[in-house]
Structure 1
């Protein structure tokens, strides 16, 4: 084998080395503007988030996070999903668990589009997130602008996406059960109300 062919083979192996490729990706991210994003609803599911952002979001997950001083609630109706969707409401006695991402700034606009910021459905809120024994300040989350007076039940599709995201990203089992029960009770109440209304007719 000539020196040139040996060199070409060596270069090919280097360029296709997974460890080196990952290192190169990390170096690119360090140069790229980034922002922290705390997801507590359907965006906890990286597969569903990829649908909106157009690229795999698994590499951007830091880990499970806690938002203190807020509680979860289904205080918005989504025209897209045709059901109640999640919101966070200030409550000094409560906390919300979710997933902390470190996303490239170029994805910010797509995230805003997903959350309906230009339609005033959700707005940015800067929050502190506790994640892996660190506190991340000035993380972005989204809160509903015009909140419903009472919570509205999610449909089965949204129910499953939220729960899948919570389980996939490693939220505590107790919290996943809490989330399941919250959504299940809302659905049960909705069905009772619908049955009662139908009987009155």
Structure 2
């Protein structure tokens, strides 16, 4: 259940009739996205309907950090994961999704499992929030490809994540790409 931390404006997806026409009393779940699903346009590709009405907004998950601890066969690159870390936090996007989309989201997140977390969005604490974590984590990070890099940043910027966090995310992904490129070049030179 939600625990109010401070008063806030009601988001359209929490009002009586949602912007896409479905009833607000339709069964729903909260979902925290921190990777490519932060981008409502990319999430629409998998779930089959406009995601913008379901965006509550920027949210913060405490005691976790980001890492690229899975290599996606579909995308042929490293993809984001979260790992527990008491000294860190992860910024992302909080959605209020209709329960009817749950199976499609699970399908999109193959290789990940549900984790129930608590996030803060717009001064309000949300508990019993679903997110996904990699089941079989790799021991080292793998770089994202350019497509994944861009869709993650597009989602972060579109949904209003703090500018400093967007720059940190950009820097981390760019560093991973540079490291991987340098390792590939070194391998080619030694062959």
- TM-score (structure 2 length as normaliser): 0.90
Shift of 1:81: 0.5
Structure 1's consecutive aligned runs of 4 or more residues displaced over 6 angstroms after TM superposition are: none
Q: 2:162 aligns with which of 172, 175, 179?
A: 172
Offset from partner CA, 1:65-111 (integer Å, 9 cap, x none)? 00000000000000110000000000001000000000000000000
Residues 1:46 and 2:40 are matched in the alignment: yes
- Cα RMSD after superposing both structures: 1.3
Asked if 2 retains the 8 angstrom alpha-carbon contact of 1:29 and 1:104, the reply is no
Query: Of the two structures, which has the highest relative contact order with CA contacts closer than 8 Å and spacing of 6 or more?
Result: 2
Corresponding residue for 1:60?
54
Q: 1:138 aligns with which of 109, 112, 128?
A: 128
Q: What residue ranges of structure 1 are gaps of 5+ in the alignment?
A: 1-21
Corresponding residue for 1:3?
none
Looking at structure 2, the residues matched to 161 and 101 of structure 1 have their Cα atoms a distance apart, in angstroms, of 17
Asked if 1 retains the 8 angstrom alpha-carbon contact of 2:69 and 2:138, the reply is yes
* SS state at 1:31 partner: coil
Corresponding residue for 1:80?
74
Looking at structure 2, the residues matched to 114 and 183 of structure 1 have their Cα atoms a distance apart, in angstroms, of 22
- TM-score (structure 1 length as normaliser): 0.85
Q: What are the equivalent positions in structure 2 for 1:48-197 lying under 5 Å apart?
A: 48-116=42-110, 121-197=111-187
Asked if 1 retains the 8 angstrom alpha-carbon contact of 2:156 and 2:166, the reply is yes
Q: How many residues align?
A: 176
Higher normalized helix content (fraction of residues): 1
Asked if 1 retains the 8 angstrom alpha-carbon contact of 2:17 and 2:24, the reply is no
